[in-house]
Amino acid sequence: MTIDTAREHLASLGYAPGDIADAPTSTLRFADGGWFKWEVAGALDAPSLATLHATLAAEGVRLHQATNTVGTMRYLDAEITDLVQTARDLGVQLRMASGPRGTYDIGGQKLASGNVAAASAYRLRGGDHLAQGLDDVLHAIELGVRGFLVFDEGLLHVLHQLRTRGAIPDIRVKASSNMGAANPAHTALLAATGADSVNLQRDLDVSMIAAIRASTPVPLDLHTDNPRATGGFVRGYDVPEFVRVGAPVYLKAGNAAQDFSDDAPTPRVIDGIVRQILLDRQQIDRHLPEAVASDNPEF
């Protein structure tokens, strides 16, 4: 038995049998025909979101999606409703991170320095924390939130089941990069479990992304740049290839300008985010001018 047998099994299951070196152009698009959307993630509140949106708009760039990575449980209800209303007024898709998460709940493993311990840091621990994580999402739904960033496969599965039953509204759920999706089967598994989009690992090359795209139709979230905590690398010249090979994609830009604390980004940080998006747009305009951004919100 050789590696060819393994590849044949993968192909029979609908997965790419390996990385795709020639990285073909994706024929998939968002519903309106767009190739990509711009997304910014961070500790965005209503004022900082409004400032970011206005600054980008002045440069001719539309912000399609904002993801608050701090989480519902760390905000007062009034702060969330202000953020929901601001996003709605600006036509920006809003996703809130669900909680509680491993960085807040009990257990020493998440504090250990070992890589094995760190890999499980964001998973919910026990039945009570799963219930609390679900309650956090249900509370956010009551406050008008319809998009979520989820860190735990169990919670993702529960939300998918409830949505299918009609027990909750037709929310949109993104699988966090902390779930570790980095291959075709894992990405397809998360999509089958209820993820409407999947945030891939930050260090995948274009041939790997091509293999994932060949195996699932869901939108992919791809980081164009990264804070030092996740490698600090900037993928400038890869951005047009992300769009060409991975469409439909959410381009997550401006991460390198942030420290990802719980504090809203300052004007200086917002300027850094905007600059990175403009640099990424410049690369797309130069190397993939036929690619157009999606304009219609999905939720």
Q: What's the CATH code of the domain at 134?
A: 3.20.20.70
- Listed as own residue / partner, the contacts of 46-51 with beta carbons closer than 8 Å and 24 or more positions apart are 46/79, 46/82, 46/83, 46/85, 46/86, 47/264, 48/264, 48/265, 48/270, 49/83, 49/86, 49/87, 49/90, 49/92, 50/86, 50/90, 51/267, 51/270
- Cα Rg for the chain, rounded, in angstroms? 19
How remote is the C-alpha of 174 from its chain's centroid?
Answer: 6
| Assigned domain for 13 exists | no
Q: What is the pLDDT along the chain (299 residues), one digit of tens a residue?
A: 789 999 999 999 999 999 999 999 999 999 999 999 999 999 999 999 999 999 999 999 999 999 999 989 999 999 999 999 999 999 999 999 997 776 666 655 555 555 555 556 678 888 988 999 999 999 999 999 999 999 999 999 999 999 999 999 999 999 999 899 999 999 999 999 999 999 999 999 999 999 999 999 999 999 999 877 777 788 899 999 999 999 999 999 998 888 777 889 999 999 999 999 999 999 999 999 999 999 999 99
Range of the structural domain that residue 69 is part of: 19-287
C-alpha–C-alpha distance, residues 8 and 23, integer Å = 20
| Assigned domain for 265 exists | yes
pLDDT at 106: 61
Domain count, the chain: 1
| Assigned domain for 12 exists | no
Buried b (16+ CB within 10 A) or exposed e, 206-231: bbbbbbbbbbbebbbbbbbbbbeeee
pLDDT at 105: 63
| Assigned domain for 9 exists | no
| Assigned domain for 96 exists | yes
Structure tokens at 291: 């690619």
| Assigned domain for 175 exists | yes
pLDDT at 259: 79
pLDDT at 262: 83
Q: How far is CA 283 from CA 58, 65, 239, 267, 286, in A?
A: 19, 20, 7, 25, 5
| Assigned domain for 176 exists | yes
pLDDT at 184: 98
Q: How many CB atoms lie within 10 A of CB 48?
A: 23
| Assigned domain for 255 exists | yes
pLDDT at 232: 78
